[in-house]
Structure 1
Amino acid sequence: MIKKIFTPALLLTAMLLAACSTTPKTTSLLDQTRMDYQAAQNNPNVLSLAPLEMRQAGVAMDDANNAAKDNESSEKIDRLAYLAKQKIATAQELSKQKLAEASVADAAKARDQIRLEQRTNEADKAKMQADQAKAQAEQARLAAQIAQGEAGDAQRKAAEEQARALEMQNRNAALEAQLADLQAKTTTRGIVITLGDVLFGVDQSKLNPDGMRTVQKLATVLQNNMQRTVLIEGHTDNTGTQAHNQDLSERRAGAVRSALVLMGVSRDRIETKGYGETFPVTENNTAQNRQLNRRVEIILSDVNGKVLPR
């Protein structure tokens, strides 16, 4: 029998070869990708805003690490590391985009809150003026009552006239307060309240909850000013056929009328018209402009119940 004799040098060489065979390979690209992946894992925004992309990056990272562990070629390791690096970058970029969108949304909410506070302040101011006018009207009535017993006809008539003027002032101030919350505008045709496209379902005539709340405010105005009537006009952009747009404008105007009637406004105080795409407020050349053209305009009559025609 032949015995194999291993010298210490041969044993050391064998051990080194065995160690080399079990040590995973690596490349500079794989090392960098591992650092990128660790950085992404340590970023809570990436984990919360791009969870799917991070899972995909983790799978790609495992593939690259397994290739290194199995001593695959450097080319294959780098190819898998590159794919993983791209998926990590996608997750990071998506999280940045969502953070930016959230920041824009927060800024919009802040602007809306400021506008709401401004409208509230204007309404409070108008209400205060209305209360003052009401108190003055009451004083004038009392003065008129006293004048009936203590003064002549001329003085009594003057007191009554002052009371009527103060009462009219009180009504106007109250109306201004109510219209401030509806963002009404004074035009050559009178006071106009605009219901935007966002208060309806997409390409539908049904009012959404925000739309119903707005119409409820209008119903309150009409109930407090019984001498006034409204003309409700439906308008659309030029997308789609003229027949479809005409029908949609009529249905949306009708939906507002039906809501007002349900809220206690008499039907004979409400007139509706649908104009389709005939009277745009701006050109239909952008999505934003088309949305402005999709609207319902409500024209409040004068104190005699009259609305100027187009």
Structure 2
Amino acid sequence: MKKITLLPVAFAMSVMFAACSSTPTTTSQLEQARSDFSAAQGNPSVASNAPLEFKAASDALDRANAAAAKKDSLDEIDKLAYIAKQKIATAQEAAKAKQAESDVANAARQRDEIRLEARTAEANQARASADRARTQAEQAKADADAARMQAEAAANSARDEQSKNAALQQQLADLQAKQTDRGIVITLNDVLFNVDRAELSAEGMRTAQKVADVLMQEPQSVVLVEGFTDSTGTSSHNLELSQRRAESVRAALSGLGVPPGKIATRGYGEAYPVASNADAGSRQLNRRVEIVLSQNGAPIANRR
């Protein structure tokens, strides 16, 4: 509201009367009223918060000043001055009340703003907590999915390994392999070679393929191919034949994909017989090639 600035008419009139007559009459009550009015006029809150009351106070003071200018009786002047003082006081109190109401309203508004800010902060914090919880839940789900996938992969790997081991054991069983303190021993009988020759027969090559399949599944194993004969013939011939048969098996395995660097050979001739050599059946058992597979890459012990 626009500030109302009032110049008491009494002052203007007193100036006019001063120019044409003697000094107007005044009293302490009137002086006090003028002082109170001046103080109220200097307070912007009075004019803005109590404009009607301030206008009534100004009019009352004008009437008191007019009475003084006309040199009315002191009682009349004091009465009008008293009324002016009361209206001035009323304007001041009304202004204070309005200001108090405004202050209360401002305080309430500020309180509401603070509460709103607090609720907003709480909502933001709750939203942030929810976001963190959602992120943690998503991470936990991702971790669980990863763990499940790892477990499934491990289970699949274990099943594959079990299947591989089962297949390997079946292959070894088909080859009538035996577990010894030197390693796994696969025996190739004499019938897999032509008579008194080192070359593998067609059946011998099929058996070599089976052995190669086993060796390819055991990349850590080293292989020793040992050749043996019966006691028929000279010792030198038997030793040379046993070595050639061992070399023939080595060449066949190498040709089937087994790295040649992991295959060693040794011919023993008629040494280390497994039968008496007293009859044809016993001698056939002694004519053999033994393939020794080490366990976990360990070196193969010498024969005792």
TM-score (norm 1): 0.47
Q: Which protein shows a greater Rg?
A: 2
TM-score (norm 2): 0.48
